[in-house]
Amino acid sequence: MKKRKVFLIILACLIAAGGLLSDGTVQQMVAASKRQKALTFPRDTAAYIRTFPQQLTAKQQTDLKLILEKGREELRQKGWSDQAIVQVLWEKPDKKVASSQLGQLFTKRLTDSQLFGSKVFQALWGIDAKKLKPTNAKRLLKMAVTTVALPDDLSGTKEETQQLLSRFSKELSPDDSFWSDFSKAVRVAYPKLSFAKGGVLERKLHQFRYVISAQQAQWVRDNYRKQGMSDAQALAHHMRDLDEANTLLEKIGVSNSDYYYDYQFGESSRLHNKLAIDSRNINRVQKYLPDGKRRVNFKIVMHFYTEFILDNEGHFVNELDPEGTNENGVINGASFNYASENNRQHRYLDVYPTKTHDPQFRRNSMKKNGIAYKAPNKVGQPFSKKRRSSWTDSYFNSKGVYAFKGRSMYQSVKAEIEAYKKLVEGSQS
């Protein structure tokens, strides 16, 4: 369980037990933790180091000067502002830190700044994103894809995915509030249809959605999966932790939704259940299943941004997977959302760009024997003879080509979701 959850749970227990703090005080503490100290960039590094509360030898001062100035130049070259650097990398150390540990402290800050989503990275981002406009939003987004060394076009290999995920912070959980901040930068940088029409950076950012989903699935495995557990069981334990944290917040009267860990099953799984259907022979419709195997894939989202797809066998369904993917993952997998809800902006940022920016390895997998994989349509009922062919391909048709064992794909997905809800309710933390 991540540190923020532990803090909230401990705090909630203390408040519930003794009424130690009011809801207003809790909110003040959280707000205060987000504020940044206002500092001016010191002109003389050596003089600045002498203001530290620690007693330092001449050699220690010289070593620190080199570390600080080297770090400043590295972060400047990456694109971070001087304000962000001085407030984060150059922040004055606590007096409790031993003088012999100062070099290690500042070196670790610099190292952590190279990990996407680390607390240091988030702090730098938070300062440079305060007055977010399209120009500096794109600058931040470029730094993000550079930090993970995203290639111009993903290959989809397990080895490449492992390398990419190694550049993420191990502490960056799927429900971290940073995902909201990151997505906001995309929305500011790319109004209307500009994202789908963009160039190299836009292509990388679109493909980054698949990398993020792979990272989030692997985070669940690394933090919750025990020997013998499926991906579905590991995620259920994580979701149970979210429920428990929410319950504790409710008990102490915290009503601000920003502190809640939201997940839901209500978003449609239709687009994640594609088949390739050859209907050229009117006497026999040929269906091609990903991996040659019938599966039912269903969706769970967190704050809409984070998206998990699971199949009926309990596996994560992802285009990229550091443990190895399959056809079902590449064709029907999860992708992080940049829009905050299922609206027009969602189509602009998360749906339309697949046509222009998808990696070649995925494009190559989207056909079987020359027949394109496609999702069932949204036709709700057989209105007339003119709609009969559309009804055949409907998500809701229990006798159509997407149906299985007398159930429509919609009914099959609903049954899997209901079973999974029971799994979450029964999971023990």
pLDDT in tens, 90-114: 999 999 999 999 999 999 999 999 9
User: Residue 274, by phi and psi: left (phi above 0), alpha (psi -120 to 50) or beta?
Assistant: beta
CB-based contact 165:323 (threshold 8 Å) = no
| Distance separating alpha carbons of residues 307 and 312, to the nearest angstrom | 16
Question: What's the pLDDT tens digit per position in 149-162?
Answer: 999 999 999 999 99
Q: How far is CA 47 from CA 51, 57, 70, 73, in A?
A: 7, 14, 17, 19
Q: Which residues of 310-339 are buried (b: 16+ CB within 10 A; e: fewer)?
A: bbbebbbbbbbbbeebbbbbbbbbbbbbbb
Q: 58-78 and 134-147 helices cross at what angle (nearest 10)? A: 110
Specify the pLDDT at position 260. Answer: 60
Q: Is the pLDDT reported for residue 38 higher than 60?
A: no
Question: What's the pLDDT tens digit per position in 67-94?
Answer: 999 999 999 999 999 999 999 999 999 9
Q: Is the pLDDT reported for residue 31 higher than 60?
A: no
Residue 131 binned pLDDT confidence (cut-offs 50, 70, 90): confident
- The amino acid occupying position 382 is P
Listed range (27-31, 325-329, 425-429) with the worst mean pLDDT: 27-31
Q: Is the pLDDT reported for residue 349 higher than 70?
A: yes
Specify the pLDDT at position 323. Answer: 97
* Average pLDDT of span 261-266: 84
| Distance separating alpha carbons of residues 290 and 296, to the nearest angstrom | 11
* Average pLDDT of span 292-298: 96
* HEC string for the chain: CCHHHHHHHHHHHHHHHHCCCCHHHHHHHHHHHHCCCCCCCCCCHHHHHCCCCCCCCHHHHHHHHHHHHHHHHHHHHHCCCHHHHHHHCCCCCCCCCCHHHHHHHHHHHHHHHCCECCHHHHHHHHHHCCCCCHHHHHHHHHHHHHHCCCCCCCCCCHHHHHHHHCCECCCCCCCCCHHHHHHHHHHHHCCCCCCCCCCHHHHHHHHHHHHHHHHHHHHHHHHHCCCCCCHHHHHHHHHHHHHHHHHHHHHCCCCCHHHCCCCECCCCCHHHCCEEEECCCCCCCEEECHHHCCCCEEEEEECCCEEEEEECCCCECECCCCCCCCHHHHHHCECCCCCCCCCHHHHHHHHCCHHHHCCHHHHHHCEECCEEEECCECCCCCCCHHHHHHHHCECCCCCCCCCECCECHHHHHHHHHHHHHHHHHHCCC
| Distance separating alpha carbons of residues 373 and 182, to the nearest angstrom | 31
| Distance separating alpha carbons of residues 382 and 3, to the nearest angstrom | 52
Residue with tokens 């749906």: 351
Q: Is the pLDDT reported for residue 329 higher than 70?
A: yes
Specify the pLDDT at position 412. Answer: 97
Question: What's the pLDDT tens digit per position in 367-410?
Answer: 998 999 999 999 988 875 566 668 999 999 999 999 989 999 99
Angle at 361 between CA 357 and CA 366, to 5 degrees: 85
Residue 313 binned pLDDT confidence (cut-offs 50, 70, 90): very high
> Longest C-alpha distance within the chain, in Å?
89
pTM: 0.88
Specify the pLDDT at position 263. Answer: 85
Q: Is the pLDDT reported for residue 237 higher than 60?
A: yes
* Average pLDDT of span 30-50: 65
Indicate the average pLDDT of the chain: 88
Q: For the CA atoms of the chain, what is the radius of gyration?
A: 25
CB-based contact 163:100 (threshold 8 Å) = no
Specify the pLDDT at position 381. Answer: 82
| Distance separating alpha carbons of residues 389 and 376, to the nearest angstrom | 12
